[in-house]
Amino acid sequence: MSTNALSDPSAHALDLRPETFERFCRFITTRLGIKMSAAKLPMLQSRLQRRLRELRLPSLEDYQTHLFDSAAGEAEQVHFIDAVTTNKTDFFREPRHFDVLTRTVLPRLDPARGPGAAGTERSWRLNLWCAGCSSGEEPYTLAMVLAEFGATRGDFDFSILATDISTRVLATAGRAIYPADRIGPVPAALRSRHLLRSRDPDRAVVRIAPELRAHLAFQRLNFMDASYDVPGAFDVVFFRNVMIYFDPPTQEAVIGRLCRHLRPGGYLFVGHSESLAGLDVPVRCVDTAVYRKPP
């Protein structure tokens, strides 16, 4: 809905009373760790309009009752979270990180190259966690990068766990189908190897090749949970452009929980606009927005 529609008198019934907005905000902060200022009120109103139409509710006050005070409220929370979370991503977003991963991090982690590598078998399986994967462009970018690395190293395999709290974006990621105009950042050589174009000339879409998709698993996860039900430990964790929505205490708590699943010597990548400075966390900075857990 446009801001003009929000100011239209006919939309008056869709306006949020301050106390209702505060109740929504408390839920968002408690469940998602996201601070909501009064400036976000128009955005929240706009994003909830679809749910009102789908549920055939006349106002946001009625929606509040449905969400918080009805038997259907628990199931509705999934839809509410889908509506209010922001999911901005691209293929090869902040591309320098992928160069750092290939040229620095992977060689340092490679068991055939590190100290005491003599006699070590070359076979290596890397486990990576893309935490906050949104609609899938980032984990598929990582899969392309790792597949290219494996083609030069040999005897290399990898798995990527991609998690997000939004069921809507996880469904998009699982389909692995994207508008063709989204793949501009993907180098031409990687497009030819890892992307499939539709056989229908009227469909301007691409799909990630099945050989690449086989390396990924998608899972719903809330960073506000006290512990994370994820399999095993990871060599690398990408947690980029998520912390910007959290206050410092929440950042510290979430990073601490993520690091429980990071192997000693493993690497944590955060967004270029993010920093762990001032946080009591078990990693140290080794490059721009790249951190390492001591071996």
Give burial (CB, 10 Å; 0-12/13-18/19+) of 258.
Answer: buried
The answer to whether residue 47 is catalytic is yes
If you write DSSP's letter for every residue of 202-225 in order, what string do you get? T--EEEE-HHHHTTEEEEE--TTS
Q: Which residue has the tokens 């989204």?
A: 182
Q: Which residue has the tokens 């968002």?
A: 28
CA-based nearest residue to 228, from 251, 266, 247, 255: 255
Query: Among 23, 31, 47, 193, which one carries the catalytic annotation?
Result: 47
Distance CA 254, CA 260 (A): 10
The residue type at 209: A
Asked whether 246 and 274 are in contact (CB, 8 A), the reply is: no
Query: Among 82, 164, 235, 292, which one carries the catalytic annotation?
Result: 164
Q: So which residues are the catalytic ones?
A: 47, 164
